[in-house]
Structures are given as structure tokens and as C-alpha cells.
Chains A and B, each alone.
Chain A
Amino acid sequence: MKTLLDKLWDAHEIHRRDDGASLMWVDRHFVHEGSHHAFAKLAGRGGTVAEPGLTFGVVDHYAPTRGPAASPEIARMIETLENNTRDHGIICFGLNDPRQGIVHVIGPEQGLTLPGLLINCGDSHTSTHGAFGALAFGIGATEVAHVLATQTVWQKKPKSMRITVTGRLASGVGAKDLALAWIAMLGADGAQGHAIEYAGDTVRGLTMEERMTLCNLSIEGGGRFGMVAPDQTTFDYVSGRPFAPGGEDLDRAIGFWQTLSSDANAAFDKEVALEASDIAPIVTWGTSPQDALPVTGTVPDPSRLSGADAGRVRAALDYMGLMPGRALADVEIDQVFIGSCTNARIEDLRAAAAVLSGRRAKVPGLVSPGSRLVQAQAEAEGLDKIFTEAGLDWVGPGCSMCVAMNGDRVEPGKRCASTTNRNFRGRQGRGARTHLMSPAMVAAAAITGRLTDVRPMLGSEAAA
């Protein structure tokens, strides 16, 4: 009786040492500007890239979203990646490539991400690719150098954890809310040491893009791996993509991919169950993704907590400039951001646009599509007009204001409703105050200028 994790692990394990460390084959390796440390390490030992054909470069972390690079340092980071990939014969989706975008958006988009693969990238949100039933996990620079040099990675097999979600998500509630709900329940370290498999009829009913959002946020609950067993939804998404197999190869692949699910009686080290209908639209109030509550709630009161918890909540509220007991829906915001590897795919933009259509935003904001192809699709559908007519800026693709490396940032003390993945202190800029939520919820906040329950704003056509 094997879990999906067991099957994927066994299929990639080349060697296991007595101490439990496994040498694993890497099918796809994505590098970005931040990989400069790893290329420098490789150069330092005079090494070469073992499998340039399985390695793909992407400009995303420092990609300018408006005009040229904001500083010479930023321009240098991009140039360094383009030079390193060129020198090693690696395809790079650079700034002038029509396929450029955020690595976790374009991997799936290009058909580089497939079920049954082991995928690495020097980025913790690599768990996103697990949505296809792949073993995908973020690694550090030393490991990136190792993958470049050997196309393998040493890794100890994590414990297994299954999060089963059953029932129907209400209108206005989606994958982002689902993810924040379990992270709030289990804590930011709730899945530490574990690979998460998301299962249950609710997960089966999610689109690929929603599954990507769910898997993307695994690391915010401490899980380095998040995955969903592939099914017809997955096969339909993959078919016809540029780097995906076609013809007989695809038929053979699908035959194999259909075996990639946990056996009926497979045992997990940890099991968690959630009822979808219990989940409301969620916003974060603090400085950790676990600080998440239904938007109908109130800011927690540290005086009702004890010990380290009270201290942590007090410090978080102090940083966030929030009063205990205040209704979350009364919290005024200064700006919004719609973007990032979590929520910048076409369905995310449609969900936000559905709320913003025909309305005006009270606060300024940026909308940054996940890739150039998403940008083109959105423009073909007229979504860009909806955003700009609402008063928001429609900009180019990249990590942008999620990681604040390219010059897009939230100024000190400003409060941003954001579709991103981290509300850490200073994440969006020094002193920035981030509230995480879904694209539809960010759109609602833009319209009212405060944290807002999107549900009453939705028409008969549900936007999740």
C-alpha cells in the first residue's frame, strides 16, 4: 500500500545511504536571478552543467514591471542570469521572450511541469508544481549548485500528510481561502517535515489553477511539498502545451500518470480533514500566514492569550497598527496588489475583474499578470480595461510587489490588501503592512478602501 509520495519517491531514488539520505534524479530544474550564488559556486570549482536540456532559466524576481530596471544592481542581476544561462547552453525565458513570467506560472504554462516528475527550483514556492502530481520542492543555493553539477539532489524522505477536503465551497470562497484556513488551523509550522497530499472531492473539483494556488501555499504551513494526484483535469491541462509530450508519447504518459495516486488503504503519518462549507473568505491580520481569520471576524485580543502567544500577537498587532477587538471589515487600506505565483493566473485575474467590472477603486494599486501569455490573454478578454477603468495600474509580469526586489514595494506604514503569499514583516517593503487574501477579496477591498467581504458584491455568476 503506497502513498503518492511513496510512488514518486521510489521512481526517482537512485541510491539510499545507510543514514537515510536519498540521491534523487531531477527531471526539471528552474533557475532565476537569485541563482547567481549557485552559478558562482559552480564556476568556483570549474564545474559544468550536467543537463542543460533539463534546466530552464526565468527572469522573474527582479523583472521590471514598468519600463527599464529600477537600478544598475537590478539590471546586473538580470544580466547575470542571462549570461550564466547562455554560457551553459540553458534556455532562458528572458525579458525579451514572449513566454517570460513567474517561474511557477510559466513552468506549467509551457508544459515543462508534468505529472510524475521531480522538479526543483531555488524558490520555496516550487511546491506549486505539485498540483500536477509531481514531486516538487524548493531548494537552497548549495543544492541548486548540486543539481546544476549532477542533475540530482540529496534529500531525506519527508513524512506523509494528507489534507482531505470534502463538500462544496461557497460562492466567493476559493483555493486561497482553503489554504489559509488549514494554515490558520495547523499553524505556520503545522506541516513541517511533511509532504502534503491534498485530497477529497473538493480538491478533485478544483481547476488546475486553483490546485496550483493550494499547493503553492504549502510552504506557508511549513510543508516543503504539496501535491494533488493527477486526473483528467490534469491531463486536459497538459495536453498540447509546447514542451509536453504529444501523440503516442502522451498516451503512454497518461497511462502511467493514471497510476499516480495513493492506494486506497495507504497509511499517512498525519491526516487532517476539512469541511469546505465551513470556510468563509479569509484575510490575514498579522505577520504570519497563520494569522488568518474569516473577514467577518475581529482582530484578536492578546490579553486573552497567555505566554509566548500573547507576546507574539501583541508584537504583530503593533507592527500592523491594529487595535484588538476591531472588526476586520473596518480596517482601512492604502493600496492593493494583484499578482505573484500564488494568484496571478488568468482565472485569478478574471475573478478580480468580475468584482471590479463597472466599479471604481478607492485606493491605488498594481495588477501584475503572472506571465506575458497571461497578460496577452487578459488583454484579449478586455480585463486590462476593467482594471484601468477602475483606477488600477496594469503592469508587466514578474514577482513584483510580492517580494519587493524589483523596486515595486509598499512604503513604510502603508497597508496593502494583497493576493500574495507572505505577510511577513517587511516582506513588501520596510514597514509595509500586508493583508493576504484572494483576488476577489482584494478587488472588493479596492472598491471600498477597507477589508471587505466580497460575497454581497458578487452577482449571480459566482467568482471565487
Chain B
Amino acid sequence: MSGWTRHTGKAVALDLESVDTDQLITARFMSTPRAEGYGRFLLYDLRFDSEEQPVPDFPLNRVPDASILVARRNFGSGSSREAAVYALVDFGIRTVIAPSFGDIFASNAVNNGLLPAQADEAEIDALIDELAGGAVHATVKLEHGEIEIGSRKLAFTLDAAWREKLINGWDDIDLTEQHHPAIARYRDRRAKAQPWAFPAGQTAG
């Protein structure tokens, strides 16, 4: 995963609250290997009707090259499926702006270079009204915690550790490497002091 500090693209509003990860990617697509790409599955049951035809009014059908999504509160709630983030990223989305995010979704997003930008609910309400059905150009400035979007400047909050990770494109497994001695010491200590914490005889049962 490569890091980034600034992104410019088209922003579009998804005027929905609690867009759960089941909607972001429906269960029936999840047996697909990642290499095949997940972008076509994004919000499938909202983007396509029951005859598999595109819903013309749906924001991502009107602006298929959007890379910034503005949504209402509790975006990415529900299932821990990281495939929801794969669907967004593979579609081309780099930033989701919302008043709040599901906790697991937000950490999955950061692990894939997708910014969950948390902003003030009233400002987002106004922004969604302003965007209505259209798209505007927007620039995300990760280091400054700021997004220029249409005529507005929107401040967003992001955990400091997550900002560093997005900027540097860090991989946690690499980062943890340096802690291996501490992990080994912890394990030894736990095995001695609390042997019950390890599963009893694994042939049991």
C-alpha cells in the first residue's frame, strides 16, 4: 500500500444514513478472489435494479469517476467484512466524508489507504444539500485535516496514528517486526504466570 498526502477528484453525495457494509458489498459476491476486482460490486443492489439495469439517478451511476463520497452518519456500520472497503477502493473511492463511521470499517479503511474523514454533521448536512445531485471538485489535504470542496473548506478529524499510517502507507506486519523480542518475552511470561490462558491438551474434545 502506498502512502498519500493530497488527493484531488470529484465528490458526490450519497444522501443515506447508516450505509452498512452489507450494502457496500452484498454477501453473494464475497466468494470472489480479490484479484478479480471488487469495484463492480460496490452498492450493487442500489446501483442496479432487479433486472440488473443501472439505476440512472444513483449518484455513482451519474458520476462514475467520483473518488470522494459524502454520506450521512454511521457509514460502514455492521459486518467486519473488509471486502466493503475493497469495493470502495477498487471502484476508485479514496475518501469518504461522514459525521461518523462504524469502528471496524474505519480501521479496515485505513488499512487499505482509504480515508474515513469525520466531519461536523451540520456542515455535512449543508454540503449534501449544496451538492444535491451534482458533483464538485474537491481536494483532500491529509496533513492539514482539511478538504476544499466546492466553495467550502471542511475540517475533518482523524486519529493521529491513522493519519501517519495513511501518509506513510505503513504495513502493520512490517511495523510489528521490531517488537518481536517484546512479544516473545510477553508470551513466555504469560505461559509461566497464567498457563490456563493456553488451550488445554489440543487433542481433547
Please report A residues at the B interface, Cβ cutoff 8 Å.
14-15, 17, 19-21, 23, 25, 27-28, 34, 36-37, 40, 45, 47, 53-54, 62, 73-74, 76-77, 91, 99, 110-112, 114, 116-117, 122-124, 138-143, 145-146, 149-152, 154, 156, 158, 187-189, 192-193, 219-220, 222, 224, 242-246, 249-250, 252-253, 256, 288, 307-308, 311-312, 315, 403-405, 412, 422, 424-427, 430-431
Contacts and interface: CB of A to CB of B under 8 A. Distances in A.
11 contacts: A21-B161, A25-B187, A117-B197, A142-B108, A142-B111, A150-B176, A150-B180, A222-B77, A222-B102, A245-B195, A425-B45
B22 A424 contact: yes
Given A122-B80, A152-B183, A424-B78, A243 B108 contact: no
Given A54-B199, A139-B104, A426-B23, A73 B31 contact: yes
Given A27-B197, A77-B31, A426-B23, A91 B78 contact: no
B197 A243 contact: no
Given A112-B199, A143-B111, A422-B22, A403 B27 contact: yes
Contacts of A427: 22, 27
B152 interface: no
B161 A156 contact: yes
B9 to A, nearest CB: 24
A14 B107 CA distance: 20
Contact of A308 (B26, B27, B72, B103): B72
Interface centre among B27, B108, B172, B198 (most CB of A within 10 A): B27
A123 B200 contact: no
A288 B199 contact: no
Contacts of A246: 200
Interface string B49-92: 01000000000000000000000111001111111010000000
Given A425-B22, A425-B45, A114 B73 contact: no
A28 B81 CA distance: 20
Given A34-B30, A142-B82, A149-B176, 8 more contacts: A14-B179, A19-B161, A54-B198, A187-B74, A243-B199, A422-B78, A424-B78, A426-B23
Interface residues of B, number: 62
B126 interface: no
Contacts of B27: 403-405, 427
A150 B79 contact: no
B102 A192 contact: yes
A99 B28 CA distance: 27
B106 to A, nearest CB: 9
B79 A412 contact: no
Contacts of A219: 78, 104
Given A20-B160, A249-B196, A192 B125 contact: no
Nearest to B22: A424
Contacts of B204: 242-243
A146 B172 contact: yes
A54 B91 CA distance: 36
Nearest to A187: B74
Interface in B1-24: 15-18, 20, 22-23
A288 B18 contact: yes
B183 A405 contact: no
B176 A152 contact: yes
Contact of A17 (B33, B79, B161): B161
A76 B194 CA distance: 39
A25 B117 CA distance: 29
Contacts of B20: 288, 422, 424
A89 B30 CA distance: 25
Interface string B25-43: 0111011011000000000
A23 B27 CA distance: 31
Closest 8 CB pairs of A and B: A242-B205, A140-B108, A253-B196, A142-B111, A245-B196, A140-B82, A19-B161, A141-B82
Interface in B164-205: 164, 172-173, 175-176, 179-180, 182-183, 186-187, 190, 194-200, 202, 204-205
B95 interface: no
A440 to B, nearest CB: 25
A431 B198 CA distance: 45
Contact of A192 (B26, B74, B111, B190): B74
Contacts of A21: 161
Interface centre among B33, B160, B197, B204 (most CB of A within 10 A): B197
A455 B131 CA distance: 50
B177 to A, nearest CB: 9
Contacts of B30: 34, 405
A140 B85 contact: yes
Interface string B93-125: 000000011111001100110000000000001
Interface centre among A34, A53, A76 (most CB of B within 10 A): A34
A188 B23 contact: no
B80 A123 contact: yes
Contact of A14 (B18, B26, B45, B183): B183
A242 B83 CA distance: 34
Nearest to A112: B199
Nearest to B79: A124
Nearest to A56: B199
